[in-house]
Amino acid sequence: MVRLPYTTALTTLFSYGLLFVFGQLRDFFRKLLGWIRKPKDQLKGYAPICLGLEDFYVRRLYLRIQDCFGRPIASAPDSWFDVVERCSNDNNKTLHRTEKTSRCLNLGSYNYLGFAAADEYCTPRVIQSLKEYSASTCSTRVEGGTTKLHVELEELVARFVGKEAAILFGMGYVTNSALIPCIIGKGGLIISDSLNHNSIVNGARGSGATVRVFQHNTPSHLEEVLREQIAEGQPRTHRPWKKIIVIVEGIYSMEGELCKLPEIIAVCKKYKAYTYLDEAHSIGAVGKSGRGVCELLGVDPADVDIMMGTFTKSFGSCGGYIAASKEIIQYLKFSCPAHLYATSMSPPAVQQVISAIKVILGEDGSSRGAQKLARIRENSNFFRSELQKMGFEVLGDNDSPVMPIMLYNPAKIPAFSRECLQQNVAVVTVAFPATPLLLARARICISASHTREDLIKALEVISKVGDLIGVKYFPAEPPKHLNQGHNKLE
Amino acid sequence: MALAMVNVTASVLNWVSSYFDAPTRAVVFGVPIDGHLVVEALLVVVILFQLTRKSYKPPKKPLTEKEIDELCDDWVPEPLTPQITEDMTYEPPTLESAAGPHAIVNGKEVVNFASANYLGLVGNEKITDSCVGALEKYGVGSCGPRGFYGTIDVHLDCEQKIAKFLGTPDSILYSYGISTIFSVIPAFCKKGDIIVADEGVHWAVQNGLYLSRSTVVYFKHNDMKSLENKLEEVTRRSKHPEKVRRYIVVEAIYQNSGQIAPLDEIVRLKEKYRFRIILDESHSFGVLGNSGRGLADHCGVPIEKIDIITAGMGNALATDGGFCTGSVRVVDHQRLSSSGYVFSASLPPYLASAAIAAVDYLEENPSVLSKLRTNIATLFNELSDVPGLVLASHILSPIVFLKLKKSTGTGKTDIDLLDSIAKQALEEDSVLIATTKRSSLDKCKLPIGLRLFVSASHSESDLLKAAASLKRVAALLIS
């Protein structure tokens, strides 16, 4: 949990207030100039795409620091990659690519097990499947888009995760937003964690069921909400709910925290609610053999009704899956719109996942899988403990490869990002609206392909930059740092 | 008798009035008090007494913990999914080779009419080579959303290529075909906006319309008179035209019926009533028009008049993903407010390079379009006299749609009949055809049927074989 000290909150609010005032001033001048110059009214009669303050945040705040986001790269997103330099001649409003690139350490891509670049086992097989099945099937799964590879992968995923059957989709986002309307509709209740991902929110909204939120990762509050809702029934009619589904995530991508899964499952079993676990970031990355939070926290996969995951993060491919009992999967194959209407997953991507899972399970004949899993665990724990020793405010639990460093102040976001890039370390900074307004942060994703030297270099750079901009909010451990002088660069 | 009553009443009245008219009865502390003042004082005392009483409300008893426990124990949820019935156990045919014009199913070679491979690019050498190069350089996945180091230079090249090909200022890539339209619509349409959409749009468009929370009005499928009426109605009822955004949502080639939208008519109506157009060109990009530039090229409408064009690339371009194109304002707005773009990983780089290679191929070989058109015309001709089935698609549409001449009674028996036609065609004549499947969430009411996707790489014998097979099987199964 984040503890926001008062002085920091005040200075952050003051910064945002200042930016808001300046933005309004500029808007006022723009309106004045527009009124004086009288632009040609070719769009007369049409309402503008964004009215008034709808895109104020984009125009006046985001565009100033646009160069920190959306940086293009010119190589594979491996542990070291080439970031393309961009230049702007109108004060960051538009950015243009240049020919120059700089080799940087990658601390931002979701490459937990190091499958992002060409791999010695996976890539030859992927190229083989490309030549055999071509890049796309141009068809939906139910018409002519099911190949042998898809059937093989579904069985393999079900075996890997520990459920009876699985179904594949071509994109992780669509998996959530097209699946939730299928299993629950009007008259049902969805209780979701307050910090759930946008795809889950969209899916819940698209289903037509009532949605209630419980406090992030607090099983006691979940129990309270469940009791209250079952006792009251549907709003206004007070009829009993048709079914209740509780949606949680394995690792929350903006906090790096693990879900309190055993307690939540116990609560759900007691009140007969169904559970839906979204393991987008945790499958393949945590657990002794990479099987996700269930293995790490000692929960039997049979206790979770529906397990969802994506292949983008740990397996270096694209797409998503749902694993559940045979009946549920059979029903989904019959009625889920993403299965009936969407192009099936590209065959080379399917082959990549098959090969990656085989490496993780050790079925390729080597122990690379076990090495990768051990390395990512060591790397995450080492990095996190070192950062905490230096005095940074780092969120997240042990063993989780995602670690956000709190920045808070809006001016520190571009400062941290640009300073690190100058020293050839590429980090990801996140601000509103992905996080609450006052809680901007820099998010680090550790990979199994980072070596110890890479991590030590990253730590040096982050420490230097942290001193420069003053984000070491906690006292550092005495022997390492003698100089505590904060130079605040506003 | 009446007299006696009158006498009694009069005497009672006299007695009462004499009582009240009696002179002063008492003198208290030197103040004379009339009799009626006592009654009035009593009345005031009674009123004050009632006012001081608390009003009666039935007591509010919140549920006790024990009662909540009992309710929780009593409550029984429905099962997560309904009972599996016979028709839910459908297993689609499994391909053992690429989805080209000829594919291998169950060890046998079949003629494939179930893949939307319009330009025959599945298995093309140049595209495979560019994919192999991209795989060796970039790996398979892009490992991040566009905002966080997931933007690879091939994405930017692909966006520029598509924009140049279509003649628009800019375009934006999405990582999955159907997520394109259901992310674009909520990015532009918010609560309070007005959308007029065709009733035959497919599920992804319906989902986008639902998520946008705007007011949606449907007009009859591909009927311009109905569209004009709805536009007229909506414009009359709208109160603040400068603040409300208005859109018309249509598809270029409807995948639920194979009809083509008359774009010049729609543009005329749009300019008359001041609406913006959102056009989904998934099945017409790379197919219609002299150079394959889509419906605008085909109808002779300048591309600037269409505000937003979206398309999935999983059809003619034989790759995956989607794009959206329009003016600079339209495209820039999506980079921050389109949920399928911001919150999702980007398109795998090898698919983006496949798209670039496909567009290159289309620019260099425009003759493939005329081959496709000849194939469609041949098949259309051959299928015009299948017993029991009637052609329902447009003569130029690469989706040839056949529906039942007479329904067999219920929707379920129709589906069963069509499924058995497709199954027999596959098993006996080795022709792979698809029937339209409808999800339970789909609100489209158009009739279901058989769909054949014509490709430029089908040979004439393939087309004749398919037509002959359908005629034979339909004659057998449709009485």
- What ipTM did this prediction achieve? 0.90
- In this predicted structure, what is the pLDDT of residue B209? 92
For the record, the structure tokens of B151 come out as: 């933007």
Mean per-residue pLDDT, B270-283: 91
The answer to whether A60 and A22 have CB atoms below 8 angstroms apart is yes
Q: Check A116 against B175: CB less than 8 A apart.
A: no
Q: State the Cα–Cα distance between residues A271 and A268, nearest whole angstrom.
A: 5
**How much of chain B, in percent, has pLDDT values that exceed 90?**
35
* A402 close to A256: Cβ distance less than 8 angstroms: yes
Inter-chain CB proximity B243 and A117 less than 8 Å = no
Say what the pLDDT of residue A485 is. Answer: 40
pLDDT in tens, B3-60: 888 888 888 888 877 766 655 556 566 666 677 888 899 999 999 999 888 777 887 7
Other beta carbons within 10 angstroms of residue A462's beta carbon come to 26
Which residues is A430 bridged to in the sheet? A441
CB A289 within 8 A of CB A357: no
Closest CA in chain B for residue A133: B98
- Average pLDDT in chain B: 87
Q: In the numeric block, which tokens belong to residue B233?
A: 């109605």
CA B139/CA B309 separation, integer angstroms:
30
Among candidates A58, A119, A227 on the partner chain, residue whose Cβ is nearest the Cβ of B72: A227
Instruction: Give the three-state DSSP class for B31.
Output: strand
**What's the mean pLDDT in A42-66?**
75
Question: CB B416: neighbour CB atoms within 10 A?
Answer: 14
Coil, helix or strand at residue A290: coil
In this structure, are residues B395 and B384 in contact, taking their beta carbons and an 8 Å threshold?
Answer: no
| A15-51 residue pLDDT tens | 889 988 988 898 888 888 887 776 555 566 677 777 6
Q: Across residues B322-332, what is the average pLDDT? A: 91
pLDDT at A489 over 50: no
At position A74, the amino acid (one-letter code) is A
> Can you name the residues that pair with A353 across neighbouring β-strands?
none
The answer to which of A285-289, A478-482, B332-336, B350-354 has the lowest mean pLDDT is A478-482
Say which of A75, A139, A315 has its CB closest to residue B116: A139
Which chain B residues are Cβ-neighbours of A337 within 8 angstroms? Answer: 203-204, 207, 439, 441-442
State which residue of chain A sits closest to B336, comparing Cα positions.
A58
| Mean pLDDT, range B207-213, rounded to an integer | 91
| Amino acid residing at B128 | T
pLDDT of res. A481: 44
At A486 the pLDDT is 43
| Per-residue pLDDT, B28 | 61
CA distance A132 to A375: 35
Distance CA B127, CA B353 (A): 8
At B280, phi and psi to the nearest 5? -100, 115
3-state secondary structure (DSSP) of residue B318 = coil
Contact at 8 Å (CB) between A425 and A105? yes
Cβ–Cβ contacts within 10 Å for residue A185, how many? Answer: 15
The two tokens of residue B277 are 């157009």
A45, A76, A108 ranked by CB distance to B139: nearest: A76
Record: contact A174-B149, CB cut-off 8 A:
no
| Among A262-271, A369-378, B31-40, the least confident range | B31-40
Q: How far apart are CA A357 and CA B42, in angstroms?
A: 94
Task: With beta carbons less than 8 A apart as the criterion, state whether A224 and A232 touch.
Answer: no
Region for residue A414 given its phi and psi (left: phi exceeds 0; alpha: psi -120 to 50; beta: otherwise): alpha
* CA–CA separation, B257 and B403 (whole Å): 9
CA of A469 vs chain B CAs: smallest distance (Å): 22
Contacts with A, B 335-374, CB within 8 Å: 335-337, 339-340, 342-345, 347-348, 350-351, 354
- Inter-chain CB pairs, A–B, below 8 Å: 343
Residue A440 has pLDDT above 70, yes or no: yes
Q: Judge whether B444 and B438 are in contact, CB under 8 Å.
A: yes
pLDDT reported for residue B441: 83
Residue B224 has pLDDT above 70, yes or no: yes
Query: What's the Cα-to-Cα distance from A50 to each of A24, B54, B200, rounded to whole Å?
Result: 16, 56, 29
Q: Which of B202, B342, B350 sits opposite A348 (nearest CB)?
A: B350
* Encoded tokens for B454: 């014509």
Residue in chain A nearest B203 by alpha carbon = A337
- Local confidence band at A338 (pLDDT 50, 70, 90 cut-offs): confident
Bridge partners (DSSP) listed for residue B450: B402, B435
Q: Which amino acid is at B124?
A: N
B39: left (phi over 0), alpha (psi -120 to 50) or beta: alpha
Minimal CA separation from A294 to chain B, in Å: 21
pLDDT digits (tens, 9 = 90+) for B173-198: 999 988 999 899 999 988 888 999 99
Contact B363, B450 (CB under 8 A): no
Chain B residues in contact with A122 (beta carbon < 8 A): 140
Distance (Å) of CA B265 to CA A198, B205, B270, B311: 38, 22, 9, 21
Percentage of residues of chain A with pLDDT beyond 70: 95
Confidence label for A64 from pLDDT (cuts 50, 70 and 90): confident
User: Comparing A221-230, A284-293, A479-488, B50-59, which segment has the lowest mean pLDDT?
Assistant: A479-488
* A75 contact B CB<8A: yes
Alpha carbons B155 and B172: distance in angstroms, whole number = 9
pLDDT value for A310: 92
| Cα–Cα distance measured from residue A327 to residue B81, given in angstroms and rounded to the nearest whole number | 8
Q: Cβ of A247: how many Cβ atoms within 10 Å?
A: 24
pLDDT band at A484 (very low <50, low <70, confident <90, very high): very low
Structure-model confidence comparison of residues B155 and B82, the more confident one: B155
Query: Looking at residue B83, what is its pLDDT?
Result: 83
Render pLDDT for A412-436 as a digit per residue (tens, 0 to 9): 899 999 999 999 999 999 887 778 8
CB contact under 8 A, A312 and B143: yes
- Which of A114-118, A151-155, B417-421 ranks highest by mean pLDDT? A151-155
Query: In this predicted structure, what is the pLDDT of residue A1?
Result: 53
- Write down the pLDDT at residue A490: 38
Name the residue among A401, A407, A432, A435 with its Cα closest to residue A420.
A407
